[in-house]
A and B are shown apart, each in its own frame.
Chain A
Amino acid sequence: SQTIHQWPATLVQPVGSPLSLECTVEGTSNPNLYWYRQAAGRGLQLLFYSVGIGQISSEVPQNLSASRPQDRQFILSSKKLLLSDSGFYLCAWSDQTDTQYFGPGTRLTVL
């Protein structure tokens, strides 16, 4: 069966510091991968999606970037964090039926 991992689970970072969040998927090949941000425990904002290695599409121009160095690895990065980057970051993968499956999330607090 397929599983999706995210780490770290929680992170507290100062403003201006770099960020790297990692997501890996097991048990499937060539998945579509997604990064979302959820603010204030409500709506989801799609940040990036990827249909293959090195293929990244950005939904919202912002202080973040994404990379996909391997088929089942998706990384969210920032060179300098802003206060507004705080939130709950969710990684997801999708199968051929368009169903998305989410990881456990990373709670990021920028101080």
Chain B
Amino acid sequence: AQSVAQPEDQVNVAEGNPLTVKCTYSVSGNPYLFWYVQYPNRGLQFLLKYITGDNLVKGSYGFEAEFNKSQTSFHLKKPSALVSDSALYFCAVRDLFSGGYNKLIFGAGTRLAVHP
């Protein structure tokens, strides 16, 4: 069965420091992986995705993610965190057995808190 895990409920980082939000996955075949961000009382915003190609994917707002097939991970990173990056982050993987319909399986979410 396809699954995605975000092992940290919350990540705390000081403004200006690098940040990492972790995601691991379990799928059969090649994964399609996504990161979304959610600000309070708002919908999810798409940040970036990996389908094929370079293992380092660059996305919106200075975020990037590294696809690591051997470790089945897709961690989200940013070189220098901003207070405005504080939000809830979701990792997702496409469900390959959804009968041709493109459904996503979401992780439980990681709350990022960036302190001044």
Judge whether A57 and B101 touch: CB under 8 Å: yes
Nearest A residue to B107 via CB reads A43
Would you call A87 an interface residue if the criterion is a C-beta within 8 Å of the partner chain's C-beta atoms?
A: no
Residues 77-96 of chain B, each 1 if its beta carbon lies under 8 Å from chain A, else 0: 00000000000101000100
Would you call B41 an interface residue if the criterion is a C-beta within 8 Å of the partner chain's C-beta atoms?
A: yes
Contacts A41-B88, A42-B108 hold; do A102 and B101 have CB atoms under 8 A apart?
no
Q: Which residues of A (25-44) have their CB < 8 Å from a CB of B?
A: 32, 34, 41-44
Judge whether B43 and A90 touch: CB under 8 Å: yes
Judge whether B102 and A94 touch: CB under 8 Å: yes
Nearest B residue to A6 via CB reads B43
Judge whether B46 and A100 touch: CB under 8 Å: yes
Judge whether A42 and B109 touch: CB under 8 Å: yes
Contacts of B101 in A (CB 8 A): 32, 49, 51, 57
27 A–B pairs (Cβ distance < 8 Å), ordered by A: A6-B43, A32-B101, A32-B102, A41-B88, A43-B108, A44-B44, A44-B90, A49-B101, A49-B103, A51-B101, A57-B101, A88-B41, A92-B43, A97-B49, A97-B51, A98-B94, A98-B102, A99-B34, A99-B46, A100-B46, A102-B43, A102-B44, A102-B45, A103-B43, A104-B42, A105-B43, A107-B41
Binding site for A on B (CB under 8 A): 32, 34, 36, 40-46, 49, 51, 88, 90, 94, 101-104, 106, 108-109
Judge whether B34 and A43 touch: CB under 8 Å: no
Which residue from A6, A41, A100, A103 sits with its C-beta under 8 Å from B104? A100
Contacts of A41 in B (CB 8 A): 40, 88
